Amino acid sequence: LVICDVFCPDKSCCKKSIVSRPNPCRGRRYFNSEKSSSYSKTHGKWKYRYGNATVEGFYGNDTVRFGNAGISQLSVPGTIFGQAVKLHEQFVGRHIDGILGLAFASLAEGRGEPPFERAVKLGLVHPIFTIYLKHSGD
């Protein structure tokens, strides 16, 4: 599975009115567009399938930041991303808040381009990146 699309749970995914028990969105960090001065809603809805699990929502446009708050971050303005309003039950108990796709835009099922590819296009970084995976436990 190659992933290049980006999604995170939207605030509306965590509402108590959602009757799914347990709600796969609860307990996750979510995106609250009301707290962003650079956010704009983008037309269109999306639905992805990851194995037997489906995720669906709508698109938004905002600045995506790589790195922890309080340190130097890579900020990528104008990034289109998915705001999930419905997560499949298979996401219950999983320790993820969303998906950050790093594949090329030509492989995207959705709209926009992956944030890192956009950063290259905007001249914010060189067209190369590395990932360090540290072994942690058994």
Measured distance CA(127)–CA(18) in Å, rounded: 42
Tell which wins on pLDDT, 17 or 28.
Answer: 28
117 to 40, 68, 101: CA distances (angstroms): 20, 20, 10
Taking the domains of the chain in order of start, what are their residue ranges? 6-121
As a whole-number percent, the residues of the chain with pLDDT over 90 amount to: 15
64-94 pLDDT, tens digit per residue, is 888 877 788 899 999 988 888 888 777 777 7
Q: What's the whole-model pTM score?
A: 0.77
Give the pLDDT mean for 9-25: 67
Please give the CATH topology (third level) of the domain spanning 6-121: Cathepsin D, subunit A; domain 1 (2.40.70)
28-68 pLDDT, tens digit per residue, is 788 888 999 999 988 889 888 878 888 888 889 999 888 87
Helical H runs in 12-135? 115-121
Under 8 Å between Cβ of 79 and 62 = yes
123 to 39, 108, 115: CA distances (angstroms): 22, 21, 12
Q: Which residue matches tokens 């790195």?
A: 67
Under 8 Å between Cβ of 61 and 123 = no
